[in-house]
Structure 1
Amino acid sequence: MGPLIKEIRSNVVLWLLAFVPVVFVVRQLEPEAHTLLFVLSVLAIVPLATLLSAATESVASKTGDAVGGLLNATLGNLTELVIALAALQAGQYTLVKASIAGAIVANTLFMLGASFLLGGIKYHVQEYNRVSARLQTSLLFLATIAMVTPSMVAQVDSVATSAFTQQLSVGLSVLLIGAYAMGLVFSLKTHRELFSGTAHAEEGEAWPMGLALGTLAAVTVLVALVSEVFVESVQEAAVAFGMTPAFVGFIVVALVGGSAEMAAAFAGARRNRLDLSVGIALGAASQIALFVAPMMVLLSYVIGPAPMDLLFWPGAVVMVLIATITAFLMTNNGRSAWFVGVLLLMVYLIFAMTIYLLPPQI
């Protein structure tokens, strides 16, 4: 427990863990205080996600940046997955779809841009494996095609019924999960030599494996419980703050749910480990697009009140497409400077401002 206590003492963000029990106490005493519960649940999820990131880095400490980035992205996405599952079970499909699209855009623009900016402030020019970036953006483009297709058919074909859209969504979900699995085989097995990053000396002391795995398990349970409170309170709180469910899902949930990956990506950029940062940002985005989103569709038949489809509102599809193209253009040469990060962040801020001022009709 020593390394865990040391980490909590040295990281100011982890002091917010004190809000975790407060969330459950307030829920019992004031179950109708939705705005307060929303704020408290956000304050609780952020340190839990940060702790998840710290434990994940210890588990990934014996791997290279390519595998480490995948592991960070996978376990970091647990927060977003749990929130999405809670919303799915509650039948809040608007929130589910908005959080999925928002997470893809946040990872490809905000997380990647902030990593380039933070690393570029410390280092004049940084380099990373552009082959890995190309693979992830290619997978993202594939997922965008799958998102465009149901929306396009629904707009131009009058015979496109709800049953047709649901059947198409199930078929597309199976294809996307298959493509994601084959992408993992390609990058981690058959052509793994193309995706190796630069070797780096480890900084700091890794946690014992037992402590890291135990922390991952405990934090995952706590995130699930807090996420349930978050989903229950988000709709009422959104009204109180003058926000639509689309803005909450696209911006708030995406940033809160992705805080674990962001902490690891930003730290990697500041240590000149941009392979790790790019791997986390783009890896998390492609994982959400090709695995989390299709799984939500399939799981809706099991735990949802009704089947969910891949029919996103046109504005979300356009934003995901622009984010994917922007990430591809900005990562094409394998080199970065701080102004590249500024450009990515500006695109994200344009999207955020647009959704806040003119929310899409879902």
Structure 2
Amino acid sequence: MRRKLFFTGLIVTFVLSGIAHYAHWNEMFQFVVSAIAVIFVAGFLGQATESVSHYAGQRLGGFLNATFGNAAELIIAIFLVKAGSFETVKASLTGSIIGNLLLVLGLSVLMGGLKFKEQVYNAKLADHNSTLMMMAVIGLFIPAIFVTAEHFSPEADRFLSITVAIILIVCYLLWLIFSMITHKDMLADSDDTSSGHGEEPIWSKSRSILYLVVATVMVAFVSEWLVHTLHGVSSRFGLSELFVGAFVVAIVGNAAEHSAAILLAMKNKIGAAVEIAVGSSLQIALFVAPVLILISTLFGPTMDIVFSPIELAAIGVAVFIAKSVSSDGRTNWYEGVLLLMVYVILGFAFYLV
């Protein structure tokens, strides 16, 4: 009965949100109904991810969730790149990285920690994730410093951005080979956090995968409808473009991952929750951002990989605290609080810019 009511709410809010968008109803109403639809769609994606992870394991399930979630964000970003809104894209990428590392991971660790005194996942995987996060910071930090300090020409800036983008993509693809193929057993789920826990999956394997794809498509549509209303809503409440891009757009774009990670953590599947939060941040920094730079060359002016000092500081702080919290492969509720407090500090700082 509860599941039937959920799917009824999912279909009704999704359809209503689409009608409100294409019929150009009141912008505030569009924002509210789209936000409600995002909650339902996020829950649907979370259920699909949990069912897939039962068959595929926590790591692969979390990876699929992060990938499908970022696919929607990538589609939206491509349209922004085509329109030449490079600064908004960079702000949303920054917000996505810090949002996943601080908000998603923080809420997952907090909610899971309130139910379980301590949650454990593969420490070797945590160590590799920490190293990759540092690689992401280096890849974003070096171009910004050199281009700004040495006053590179536009041609040199473009060359460095494309070169670094290709290197980061190669690093990410090699990481997938390392973690999913050559060293799969070393980074596998530990016995006490392995997928399933004796629970029966919600759906069959084929239906779980189908629903994961369907939920992702729905996320893409609802996210675009909601983002479409953000400019008017932000102007009405006097919010800056940087704050909207780094926090509002990022939170909306990652709503599906938020719910999925939290639900999994509360079922003591912290391995999948960490893979969603940290894995999504790594995917954004090492794959999505570089791909957008390469794609921008097809539309005219190339988007460089030079982020502002504010954005770099936010990413650096998020990586530092997330690395400190997750590197030992153990989590508790207080570590979740620390991550959330850093996110709140950054939120106030961005709001005042």
Whether the aligned pair in 2 keeps the contact of 1:87 and 1:231 (CA below 8 Å) is: no
Report whether the alignment pairs 1:140 with 2:133. Answer: yes
Q: Deviations over 1:164-202 (max 9, x none)?
A: 222211111111110001111111111122211123424
TM-score of the pair, normalised by structure 1: 0.88
| 2:259 aligned to which of 254, 257, 263 | 263
* Counterpart Cα distance in 2 of 1:330 and 1:207: 34
Partner of 1:194: 186
The one of 340, 343, 353 equivalent to 1:345 is: 340
Residue of structure 2 equivalent to 1:315 = 310
- Mapping of residues 1-362 of structure 1, within 5 Å: 7=3, 9-10=5-6, 15=9, 17-30=11-24, 33-158=26-151, 160-198=152-190, 199-200=194-195, 201-302=197-298, 304=299, 306-357=301-352, 359=353
Q: Which amino acid aligns with 1:336?
A: T
Matched position secondary structure for 1:193: coil
Q: CA deviation at 1:132?
A: 1.0
Cα distance in structure 1, aligned partners of 2:300 and 2:60: 37
Amino acid in the other structure paired with 1:335: R
Amino acid corresponding to residue 235 of structure 2 in structure 1: V
The answer to whether the 8 A contact 2:42-2:260 is kept is no
Change (3 A) 1:76 1:232: closer
Letter matched to residue 234 of structure 2: A
Q: TM-score, normalised by structure 2?
A: 0.90
**Residue 156 and residue 137 in structure 1: after superposition, are their counterparts in 2 closer, same or farther (change >3 A)?**
same
CA RMSD of aligned residues (A): 2.3
The CA deviation string for residues 245-289 of structure 1, in whole angstroms up to 9 with x for no partner, is: 211121112222212222221122111121121121111110111
Contact 2:54/2:201, CA 8 A, preserved across alignment: no
Q: Bigger shift: 77-86 or 91-100?
A: 77-86
* 1:210, distance to aligned residue in structure 2 (A): 3.8
Shift, 1:222, TM fit: 3.5
Q: CA deviation at 1:8?
A: 5.1
In 1, Cα distance between equivalents of 2:198 and 2:251: 28
Once residues 260 and 205 of structure 2 are traced to their aligned partners in structure 1, the CA distance between those partners, rounded to angstroms, is 18
Inter-CA distance 239–17: structure 2 relative to 1 (3 Å threshold)? farther
- Give the drift of 1:16: 5.0
* Alpha carbons of structure 1 residues 71 and 25: separation in structure 2 relative to 1, 3 Å: closer
CA displacement 1:36-72 (0-9 Å, x = unmatched): 4344333333322332232233233212222222122
Alignment CA distance shift 1:50-1:319 (3 Å): same
Tell me, yes or no, if the aligned pair for 1:55 and 1:215 is still in contact at 8 Å. Answer: yes
How far 1:10 moved relative to its partner? 4.8
Query: Contact conserved, 1:93 with 1:308, CA < 8 A, in 2?
Result: yes
Superposed structure 1 runs of 4+ greater than 4 Å apart = none
Contact 2:69 2:216 in 1 (8 A): no
The letter for the 2-side match of 1:121 is: L
CA–CA distance in 1 between the matches of 2:2 and 2:291? 37
* Contact persistence 2:219–2:256 (CA under 8 A): no
Distance in 2, Cα, partners of 1:145 & 1:126: 30
Are 1:264 and 1:277, in contact at CA under 8 Å, matched by a contact in 2?
yes
Decide whether aligned partners of structure 1 residues 66 and 260 sit closer, same or farther in structure 2, where only a CA change above 3 A counts: same
Shift of 1:295: 1.0
Residue 120 of structure 1 contacts residue 337 of structure 1 at CA under 8 Å; is this kept in 2?
Answer: yes
Cα offset, 1:226, TM superposition: 3.5
Offset at residue 307 of structure 1 (A): 1.9
- Gaps (5+ residues) in structure 2? none
Question: Helix, strand or coil for the counterpart of 1:206?
Answer: coil
**In the alignment, is the contact (CA less than 8 A) between 1:16 and 1:43 conserved in 2?**
no
User: What one-letter code is carried by the residue in structure 1 that aligns with 2:179?
Assistant: S
Counterpart residue type for residue 99 of structure 1: S
